[in-house]
């Protein structure tokens, strides 16, 4: 299951033929193919393209967190990653699409080992228990905390940053939880007077509590796995007491 995404769009004025050709040009202007990721000229294999994409996302994510979203240009990312700026446009639609891909890729890897909540046959309490702990572990990661601080600091001056983060993160989580709570077997266990659309919000708020506030002003010692496990269990119990029949 992937948690917390805007689908990046390509440039509207790029036709499919040109886009396909540009996707082959993964080296920056003036960079020889031999020096670009160690690859010789020619059509890249799927594994090579995946490695180059991963390297680009890693570079972009590092620069965003190190310098701030508004202070990082596509030219800066392209130079550091040894790709052409137009390649970023074709593949991600621009800087917001690139950030979206960075967030989505990281979350997909983090939740990759979790069963799909829409088809998981286990009892509701077990499914939500796994989600709750993983969710707290994710938002406790230093990279996520730094991302959250960046969004808070730049949201007013750079609205596209806040919108991209919301679409790739909280909205995606709410949509996936919404589909879980809409399962007939799950819905039958919940109070009928609670609006379905508020269930994901109630759950995440119960799980987080003031955890995010604490992480924005971190102490020297990050929460241990046992502390996260306790907070996840307490938050889930509070949620279930309020919504179960």
pTM value surpassing 0.85: no
Report, as an integer, the average pLDDT of 203-226.
Answer: 81
Tell me: the pLDDT tens digits for 93-110? 999 999 999 998 888 877
- The span from the first CA to the last CA of the chain, in angstroms, equals 27
Band of residue 120 on the pLDDT scale cut at 50, 70, 90: very high
| Secondary structure class of 190 (helix, strand, coil) | strand
Distance of alpha carbon 81 from the chain centroid: 21
Equal CATH topology for 16-107 and 117-243: yes
- CB distance 74 to 63 below 8 Å: no
| Secondary structure class of 101 (helix, strand, coil) | helix
Q: Name the token pair of 113.
A: 């080992």
Q: Cα(193)–Cα(133) distance, rounded to whole angstroms?
A: 27
Answer yes or no: is pLDDT of 152 > 70. Answer: yes
Q: Cα(236)–Cα(206) distance, rounded to whole angstroms?
A: 7
Report the percentage of the chain scoring pLDDT > 90. 58
Tell me: the pLDDT tens digits for 27-82? 544 444 333 433 444 556 878 888 999 999 999 999 999 999 999 999 999 999 99
Q: Which helix (H) or strand (E) covers residue 19, if one does? A: helix 16-24
**Lowest mean pLDDT: which of 70-84, 92-106, 137-151, 229-243?**
137-151
Q: Cα(56)–Cα(52) distance, rounded to whole angstroms?
A: 6
- DSSP states of 102-153 as a string? HHHHHHHHHTTTSPPTTT--S-HHHHHHHHHHHHHHHHHSHHHHHHHHHHHH
- CB distance 181 to 200 below 8 Å: yes
Q: Cα(10)–Cα(19) distance, rounded to whole angstroms?
A: 8
Mean pLDDT of all residues in the chain? Answer: 82
Answer yes or no: is pLDDT of 111 > 80. Answer: no
Q: Domain 16-107 carries which CATH code?
A: 1.10.357.10
Tell me: the pLDDT tens digits for 219-228? 667 788 999 9
Residue spans per domain, the chain: 16-107, 117-243
The torsion angle over the Cα atoms of residues 213, 103, 80 and 85, rounded to 10 degrees, is -130
> Topology of 117-243 in CATH?
Tetracycline Repressor; domain 2 (1.10.357)
């Amino acid at each position: 299951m992937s948690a917390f995404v805007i689908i990046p769009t390509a440039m509207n004025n790029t036709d499919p033929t040109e886009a396909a050709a540009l996707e082959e040009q993964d080296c920056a202007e003036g960079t020889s193919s031999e020096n670009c990721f160690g690859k010789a000229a020619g059509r890249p294999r799927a594994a090579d393209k995946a490695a180059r994409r991963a390297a680009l996302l890693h570079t972009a994510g590092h620069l965003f967190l190190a310098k701030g979203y508004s202070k990082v240009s596509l030219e800066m990312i392209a130079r550091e990653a040894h790709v052409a700026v137009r390649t970023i446009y074709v593949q991600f639609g621009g800087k917001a699409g690139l950030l979206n891909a960075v967030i989505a890729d990281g979350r997909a890897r983090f939740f990759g080992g979790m069963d799909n909540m829409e088809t998981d046959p286990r009892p509701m309490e077990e499914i939500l228990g796994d989600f709750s702990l993983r969710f707290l572990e994710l938002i406790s990661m230093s990279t996520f905390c730094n991302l959250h601080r960046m969004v808070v600091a730049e949201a007013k001056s750079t609205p596209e940053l806040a919108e991209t983060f919301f679409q790739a993160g909280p909205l995606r989580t709410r949509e996936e939880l919404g589909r879980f709570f809409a399962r007939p077997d799950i819905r039958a266990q919940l109070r009928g007077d609670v609006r379905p659309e508020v269930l994901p919000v109630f759950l995440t708020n119960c799980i987080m509590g003031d955890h995010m506030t604490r992480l924005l002003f971190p102490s020297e010692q990050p929460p241990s796995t046992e502390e996260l496990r306790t907070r996840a269990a307490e938050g889930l119990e509070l949620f279930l007491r309020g919504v179960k029949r």
